[in-house]
């Protein structure tokens, strides 16, 4: 069992951390391959809630080496804050347990400032980014003027690069009425962070491939979701990296011959944060019921941003698209417990576009915005399913709903979460 991938099959926030946590107890390595601290994975263990943004969810399992891959963009300050917070909860984090790729790119204060300035300049056409510098960092990466984590191994050179980058960014920022970046203060903070992170910086491509050659189990943890992929999502309302299975290979430096399991994680309904098409979006009391009140972390408010998520019925058109695009071998369905108490449930099985039925998503946002979902209605259930641990003990209507998801997606559902706790995960035989 060399490589298992866990990927988001919707617009992010699907509950990937739950699936990763369930599998990580047997993993030799748990690796992130893309994104930065715009991601947010929450794992609930007993009375403790672990909110992770950069560290893989596997950090909670002591036997696993955790890897931050070359495809990631890393804010050193945020990473250290997260390490310190997790350590305070009793989790051991050492250079033997955490490896940061020498080829990952650094989010600098310049990138954060530029992100804010550019989003402000867009006005009504803002993309809804997290303002954490993700996009500008990837832009510098592809423009061949980024700063990689390996530069932190030479502190003096690293400080010089930061000074140049911030000074250049300030020339742009001042034109947008955004506060200038304090060069001296920020360079010192990043130099201090580099001193602490240097022991963790390694060639993770070598670490991964050496263990794969020995048939060790590598678990790959995706960030965001398939429908936010920079190439295959609803561009430009996407993230700045590749969130799919292909992106996982490039973002870690491993080959496809090792992959034998690709798990897509999908909520039992749909959510999205920020702008962009959401064909099954609801703006009524059903949406409010799906979203929750925000009084607990299981409600539909972003782990990273705190923003309320847009909610709607499950979209099987988009789910099939994600299955095909990633080569998914199975699904994990999360938040089935939220659907308890509905008299009936709906699944979008196709779209009507300008009077014609289509069964695959169109490639342009203009067309996708005009799509009207074709719904199939299924019976709901009233029972509380949150304490059920065996699939056959679920109400018949709940099993019918899960089975229909599998039929429409053309892959089996192998895991179902019915609550936030570790033991609220049902394995389907």
302 pLDDT higher than 80: no
Span 274-299, average pLDDT = 83
Q: Is a pLDDT exceeding 70 seen at residue 101?
A: yes
Could you give the angle at the alpha carbon of 192 between the alpha carbons of 78 and 31, nearest 5°? 40
Instruction: State the chain's mean pLDDT as an integer.
Output: 92
Cα distance between residue 258 and residue 263, in whole Å: 15
Q: Assess whether pLDDT exceeds 90 at residue 119.
A: no
Cβ contact 122:27 at 8 Å: no
CATH superfamily label, 3-102+201-263: Adenylosuccinate Synthetase, subunit A, domain 1 (3.40.440.10)
Quote the CA–CA distance of 9 and 266 in Å, as a whole number.
5
Phi–psi pair at 370, nearest 5 degrees: -90, -10
For residue 310, pLDDT over 90 is answered with yes
Annotated active-site residue 232? The verdict is no
Mean pLDDT of 59-69: 94
Say yes or no to pLDDT of 297 above 60.
no
Stronger pLDDT, 16 or 403, i.e. the higher one: 403
- pTM as predicted: 0.92
The mean pLDDT value for 344-368 works out to 97
Q: What is the pLDDT of residues 5-49, one digit of tens each?
A: 999 999 999 999 888 888 999 999 999 999 999 877 677 666 677
- Residue 205 has a CB neighbour count (10 Å cut-off) of 17
370 and 362 in contact (C-beta within 8 Å)?
no
Determine whether 231 is an active site residue: no
Domain 105-197 fold: Adenylosuccinate Synthetase, subunit A; domain 2 (1.10.300)
pLDDT at 299: 66
Q: Domain segments of the chain: what residues?
A: 3-102+201-263, 105-197, 266-427
Q: Model confidence over 208-232: pLDDT tens digits?
A: 999 999 999 999 999 999 999 999 9
221, two tokens = 């943890």
User: Quick one: pLDDT at residue 301?
Assistant: 73
Q: Which CA distances in Å does 172 have to 106, 117, 121, 175, 273?
A: 20, 8, 12, 6, 28
Q: What is the arithmetic mean of pLDDT over 397-421? A: 97
CATH of 266-427, one of 3.30.360.10, 3.90.170.10, 3.40.50.300, 3.30.565.10: 3.90.170.10
The predicted pLDDT at position 303 comes to 58
User: Taking the alpha carbons of 417, 422, 426, 429 in that order, is the dihedral positive or negative?
Assistant: positive
The one catalytic residue among 21, 37, 41, 53:
41
In this prediction, residue 4 carries a pLDDT of 98
pLDDT at 295 over 70: no
pLDDT tens, residue by residue, 174-191: 888 788 999 999 999 999
Give residue 287's pLDDT band: very low, low, confident or very high (50, 70, 90).
very high
Q: Which of 13, 115, 140, 229 is catalytic?
A: 13
């Amino acid at each position: 069992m060399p490589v298992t991938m866990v990927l988001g099959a919707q617009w992010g926030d699907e509950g990937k951390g739950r699936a990763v946590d369930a599998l990580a107890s047997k993993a030799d390595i748990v690796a992130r391959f893309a994104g930065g601290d715009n991601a947010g994975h929450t794992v609930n263990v007993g009375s403790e809630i672990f909110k992770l943004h950069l560290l893989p969810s596997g950090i909670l399992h002591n036997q696993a080496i955790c890897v931050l891959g070359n495809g990631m963009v890393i804010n050193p300050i945020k990473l250290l804050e997260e390490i310190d917070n997790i350590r305070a909860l009793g989790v051991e984090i050492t250079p033997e347990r955490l490896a940061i790729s020498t080829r990952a790119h650094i989010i600098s204060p310049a990138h954060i400032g530029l992100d804010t300035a550019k989003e402000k300049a867009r006005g009504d056409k803002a993309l809804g980014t997290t303002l954490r510098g993700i996009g500008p960092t990837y832009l510098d990466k592809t423009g061949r003027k980024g700063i990689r984590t390996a530069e932190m191994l030479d502190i003096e050179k690293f400080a010089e690069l930061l000074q140049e980058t911030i000074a250049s960014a300030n020339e742009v920022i001042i034109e947008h009425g955004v506060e200038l970046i304090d060069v001296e203060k920020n360079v010192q903070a990043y130099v201090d962070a580099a001193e602490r992170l240097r022991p963790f910086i390694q060639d993770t491509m070598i670490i991964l491939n050496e263990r794969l050659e020995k048939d060790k189990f590598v678990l790959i943890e995706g960030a965001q979701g398939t429908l936010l992929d920079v190439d295959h999502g609803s561009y430009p309302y996407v993230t700045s990296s590749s969130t799919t299975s292909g992106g996982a290979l490039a973002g870690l430096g491993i080959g496809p011959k090792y992959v034998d399991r690709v798990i897509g994680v999908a909520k039992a309904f749909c959510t999205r944060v920020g702008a962009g098409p959401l064909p099954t979006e609801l703006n009524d009391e059903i949406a409010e019921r799906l979203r929750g009140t925000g009084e607990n972390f299981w409600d539909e408010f972003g782990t990273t941003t705190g923003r309320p998520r847009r909610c709607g019925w499950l979209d099987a058109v988009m789910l099939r698209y994600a299955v095909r695009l990633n080569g998914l071998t199975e699904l994990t369905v999360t938040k089935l417990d939220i659907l308890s108490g509905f008299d009936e449930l709906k699944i979008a099985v196709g779209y009507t576009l300008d009077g014609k039925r289509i069964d695959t998503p169109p490639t342009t946002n203009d067309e996708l915005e005009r799509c009207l979902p074709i719904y199939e209605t299924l019976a709901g259930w009233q029972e509380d399913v949150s304490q059920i641990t065996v699939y056959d003990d679920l109400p018949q209507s709940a099993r019918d709903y899960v089975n229909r998801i599998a039929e429409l997606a053309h892959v089996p559902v192998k895991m179902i979460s019915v609550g936030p706790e570790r033991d609220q995960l049902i394995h389907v035989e």
